[in-house]
Amino acid sequence: MTKYREILRLASLGLSQQSIADSCGASKKTVNRILKHAKEINLYWPLDENETDAVIAEKLFPSAPVKISSGKKMPDFDYIQKELLRNGVNKKLLWTEYLEECRLSGETPLMYSQFCYHIQQDEQKRRATMHISRKPGEQIEVDWAGDPAQIIDPDTGEITKAWQFVGVMTYSQYPYVEAFLNEKQQAWITAHVHMYEYFGGVTRILVPDNCKTAVIHTNDWYNQQVNAVYHEMAVL
C-alpha cells in the first residue's frame, strides 16, 4: 500500500517530491496527488497514531462506488512510456499506481501479466525500426551501464558502489561486463584492454556513448570530440 504517513512526514521536512517518491517507492505523480489532496483538506504532519495509511487513504480519496462495467480500465500508455525512461521506475511500480487509480475510480484493473502484455503491445506499435547491415566482428558499442551496483562486505556490512562497464559486439550482441570502483579515465581504458583480451581481438569500429570518460562535451551536440587519451588508445 502507498506510504501515506511517510509521504506527509517527509513533505513536512521540506524534501522535494522526487526525493519523497524515491524514498517511498512511489511515482512523483502519486506523491503530487497525495500532497495536493492533503492540502485541500488541511491534513498535515504530525499525525495521530490512529491515522494509519488506510485511514489517510480514505480521507484523501473516499471510496468511489463500484461501477458495473464489462471492460477493464486500460493504462495510460503515453504516461507509462515516459515514466519508464526515469531511473528507478519499473512496470511493477507503475502497476501499483494504476491499481490505486482503478480503486479510486471504481474501475476494474488488469492483472499484472495483462498490464505488462498491453504495454509490450503498445511498445511494438510505437517502435520504428530500420535494418542496418553489420558484419561479424566489425563493431563494438561501449558505455557505463545505468546506476551503480553495490558490493557489501559480509563481515563489516560496509557498502561500496561499483560502476559497470559494458561492451557489446553489435552483430552478435555478445557482451563483456566488468565492475569498477569509479568511472574515471584509468578504469575506462583498463576496461577496454580487458574487453579486447576477452574477445581475443579488436574491431574496426568502436562506438562509445556520450559519456564523460570518452567524449569532450561542447555546446555543439553534433561535433563532440573524443578525448585525447581515449583517442590514442583507439588508434594504437
Q: Is the pLDDT of residue 214 over 90?
A: no
Give the least confident one: 86-95, 104-113, 204-213: 204-213
Q: What is the dihedral of CA 180, 231, 146, 28, to 10 degrees?
A: 130
Please tell me the number of Cα atoms within 13 Å of 133 on its side-chain side.
0
| Cα-based distances in Å from 165 to 23, 142, 172 | 27, 7, 18
In this predicted model, what pLDDT tens digit does every residue of 110-142 receive, in sequence order? Answer: 888 889 888 888 887 776 666 667 788 889 999
Cβ atoms 100, 2 nearer than 8 A: yes
**What is the average pLDDT across 5-17?**
89
Q: Is the pLDDT of residue 64 over 50?
A: no
3-state secondary structure string across 20-53: HHHHHCCCHHHHHHHHHHHHHCCCCCCCCCCCCH
pLDDT greater at residue 68 or residue 154: 154
- pLDDT bracket for residue 166 (50, 70, 90): very high
In the DSSP assignment, the letter for residue 152 is E
Q: Is the pLDDT of residue 183 over 70?
A: yes
In this predicted model, what pLDDT tens digit does every residue of 193-207 receive, in sequence order? Answer: 999 999 998 888 888
d(CA 234, CA 228): 10
Strands (E), 65-174: 139-144, 149-152, 159-169
Q: Is the pLDDT of residue 65 over 60?
A: no
First to last CA, the chain: 57
pTM beyond 0.85: the answer is no
Return the domain boundaries, the chain.
Answer: 4-126, 139-235
In the prediction, which pLDDT does 203 show? 87
Cell 519499473, located at residue: 90
- pLDDT bracket for residue 162 (50, 70, 90): very high
Among 227, 132, 128, 136, CA closest to 184: 227
